[in-house]
Chains A and B, each alone.
Chain A
Amino acid sequence: MNHELTLPIGLPGQGMHLGVDPLSCLFLAILAPQILAVAVGEDRESVLFWVFVLGMVLAVVAADAFSLVFGFELMSAASWVLVLRGDRKPATLYAGIAMFSGACLVPALFLPAGGVAFGLILLGAGAKAGLAPLHAWLPRAHPAPPAGISALMSGGMVKVALYVIIRYGFVVMAPDVKPWWGIALIFAGGASVLIGSLRAVLETELKVVLACSTVEHVGLIATGLGIGLLAKGFGDNALAATALQGALLLAVAHGLFKPLLFLGAGAVKHATGTNSLDWLGGLIRGMPHLGGLMILGCAGMAALPLGPGFAPEFLLLHAVFGAAGTGGILGRIGFEALLAVLGLSAAMALVSGLRIVGIGFLGRPRTLRAAAAEEAGWPVLAGMALLAVLCVPVALLPGLLLAAMQPVFAELVPGAAPQPLAYAPFPLALLLAGFAAGAWWFVKIFGARGEREVPAWQGGFGKPPPWLPFGNPMTQATGTGFSEPIARAFGYTILGAKHLDPGEVYVLAPLARLHQVLTRAAERVRRATIRQRLAFVFGALVMFLLALGLAQGG
């Protein structure tokens, strides 16, 4: 299935080589639905959007290093301009990260295969994918542009970055794999999972929550990839295949439900003028279709059973269990800790999904704008519905999907025979549907005849005071209040008293200080007097002469 196509443009004398193999087919399949959905939903008139799409597709179908870098950088540049449409400061931060990743990737792809090259790829592509510790830009930059671009950045661009890691770790540099490559990926992934899931619970802006959740999912995928790389290095092909199944299936699922959620968040902002959970509430009455689709997406994000996110996490946990049973004592302890992190993050993901639905879409509207929200336009709904429909096979028939992805696993881990999936949601769903139908029939036959509509348990409120007969919506729990128990239990211990992201405290803040120091030094050079400059040149001359003399004399 190796079709090569040579374009006459590109490097002089070589052109650009494009080709598809199972891996790039899989990533094209991940990209296609979200591109289609975003194009249907919004942004299809923007030229830059299509340049962005072209860059992503080019990076995935590239068959030589030059085309890969070209597509990757095209993607970065176009998305930077698109972020710039939203806000200036995140765009600047994003431009810095994009340049950093370019500066790492360009030498890496042309270096001989080995530890240095893979380390640089990990830094460059990892920064672009939002892997800890270089993830702090993602919750700032992803929410900034219009929703469709956010959707594509979160669902597609990080996948392209992960694709680069997979392509080089598993295919191009496969003969030189060292154990530490996988371990580095697992560490970065584990840290991203922990920080991302925790911040997703604590943030109040809807799009920031989604971006933090993207950090978490990227971390999960990276963890799976790391286990796969490690197991492949040790020759444990079955384990590697299981981990890769989890990682790639999660990439597929995340590429469906995350753009859906971002599109929905954009529609919410369009309808209410705000994205802050503290000012929303009760949206499902005004926008029932959007609310239903968002609930579906949140079920995927929270990895609920029978949702699209469950099967991959199931496989990932299996892989971690398997890895924990094989290594030495340090490895065992490490993987047990990873298991704890994954469990904690699954719980956090559940809370953050529940929080979006419960605070934003259920309950009573907290503001007039939220109360007056109207249903989103049909293009957005159509785009979201497309993604939701595609979620169904991922959710209910993951076994079939994995069987269809078998060539990819065969390409990445040659000679692997993955175990069949021990989780069969389709019969489970049938069973549940049967039970539900039976219960409905039972109630229909034997239940009470009359109907009376009252809010269960008063909708969770006390009796309204006499001077405010309809109650005060502000007495509902807010998004901040809802996450307060978790903030107290974990936020202070993991993120510190001010809930600052370690990525910002230990990476961005030192960089800002370094920038200040360098600026001051540059300013001092600029303001140097003629004599000082002369002295500098003179000193350099004397140093040169000294070196010359010592080299000649010695």
Chain B
Amino acid sequence: MIYPLAHLLGGLVLLCAFSLLSQRRLAAMISIYQLEALILSAAAAWQGYAQHELSLYLTAAITLVIKAGIAPIVLRRIVHNFNLIRAVETAMPVGVSMILGVGLIGVAVLVVLPTTINSVGLTREDLAISLSVVLLGLLVMTTRRNAVSQVIGFLSTENGLVLAAIGMPGMPFVAELSVALLVLLAFMVVGVFLLRIREHFDTLDLSGIEEIERRGR
């Protein structure tokens, strides 16, 4: 009963991470990220119930409040306030990036299943799923040109790490890990948006282009 549900929730997280790749609009990406964080929070709560770990409930709460609640709201507000371009600029066609994503899931399974052959039987799939989520998040970061979508990719990667951490029975410092990742997340968001760094990560110095864009609007 424990593992099928855990696997189902993990699989749903993976599905969300994968569908991030296919989205062309920022609003949709933020919503899917919100959904992903929600499922992750459910998974953490379920693992907390199954492992009788209080700290996992804490993780679930943090995930629910901050990642599924505050972060998407902040992101949406930023998109709205700074009047960012709503379409996602991709560095390669969406179809190609999805094919690459399928390949990455294959790589994750190929790595995890043989290397962990001697470890606890039923967490292996969980680990494969988490690694896939991490790799897919990195793929989102590398194939998108907008800073917002890259940050969403980063957040998705971080979700994968948390998924791996909660799936391991007896993994210490899960809550601490999630808090630390949260701090990182917060700095990322603050660094990218509140300091108004740039619309793109794609060029190093965009002050001139930003100026032109501002005048154009």
Chain A residues with a Cβ under 8 A of chain B: 529-531, 534-535, 538, 541-542, 545-546, 548-550, 552-553
Contact = CB atoms under 8 A, between A and B. Distances in A.
Contacts of A545: 107-108, 110-111
A17 B20 CA distance: 69
Contact of B201 (A530, A548, A549, A550): A530
B201 A546 contact: no
12 contacts: A530-B201, A530-B202, A530-B204, A531-B142, A531-B201, A538-B142, A545-B108, A548-B111, A548-B115, A550-B110, A552-B115, A553-B114
Contacts of B142: 531, 534-535, 538
Contact of B139 (A538, A546, A548, A550): A538
A542 B201 CA distance: 22
B111 A552 contact: yes
A531 B108 contact: no
Nearest to B150: A531
Contact of A542 (B115, B135, B145): B135
Interface of B: 91, 104, 107-108, 110-111, 114-115, 135, 138-139, 141-142, 145, 150, 201-204
Contacts of A529: 201-204
B104 A542 contact: yes
The 5 closest A-B pairs by CB, nearest first: A549-B110, A549-B111, A552-B114, A535-B142, A553-B114
A541 B204 CA distance: 24
Contacts of B104: 542
Contacts of B108: 545
A398 B150 CA distance: 82
Nearest to B139: A538
Contacts of A549: 107, 110-111, 114-115
A553 B115 CA distance: 8
A531 B139 CA distance: 11
A97 to B, nearest CB: 38
A541 B141 CA distance: 14
A542 B106 CA distance: 11
Given A545-B108, A549-B114, A549-B115, A531 B135 contact: no
Given A529-B201, A549-B115, 6 more contacts: A530-B202, A531-B201, A538-B139, A538-B141, A545-B107, A552-B114
Contacts of B114: 549, 552-553
A374 B111 CA distance: 84
Nearest to A545: B111
A393 B203 CA distance: 75
Contacts of A541: 138
Nearest to B109: A549
Nearest to B112: A549
A413 B201 CA distance: 71
A552 B138 CA distance: 24
A531 B143 CA distance: 8
B1 to A, nearest CB: 31
Nearest to A527: B204
Contact of B107 (A530, A531, A534, A542): A542
Contacts of B91: 531
A553 B104 CA distance: 16
Contacts of A535: 142
A546 B139 CA distance: 15
A549 B127 CA distance: 14
Nearest to A542: B107
A531 B107 CA distance: 22
Contacts of B115: 548-549, 552
A528 to B, nearest CB: 9
Contacts of B138: 534, 538, 541
Contacts of B145: 531
Contacts of A548: 111, 115
B135 A534 contact: no
Contacts of B110: 545-546, 549-550, 553
Contacts of A550: 110
Contacts of A542: 104, 107, 135
Contacts of B135: 542
A538 B145 CA distance: 16
Contacts of A546: 107, 110-111
A530 B203 CA distance: 8
Nearest to B145: A531
Contacts of B141: 531, 534, 538
A531 B202 contact: yes
A369 to B, nearest CB: 57
A512 to B, nearest CB: 30
A529 B204 CA distance: 6
B51 to A, nearest CB: 28
A531 B198 CA distance: 14
A371 B88 CA distance: 82
A534 B94 CA distance: 19
Contacts of A534: 138, 141-142
Nearest to A546: B107
A542 B108 CA distance: 9
A5 B141 CA distance: 65
A549 B110 CA distance: 5
A368 to B, nearest CB: 60
A140 B139 CA distance: 53
A552 B202 CA distance: 37
A390 B202 CA distance: 73
A219 B201 CA distance: 59
Contacts of A530: 201-202, 204
Contacts of B201: 529-531
Contacts of B203: 529
A550 B111 CA distance: 8
Nearest to B144: A531
B150 to A, nearest CB: 7
A71 B33 CA distance: 66
A523 to B, nearest CB: 14
B63 to A, nearest CB: 25
Contacts of B107: 542, 545-546, 549
Contacts of A553: 110, 114
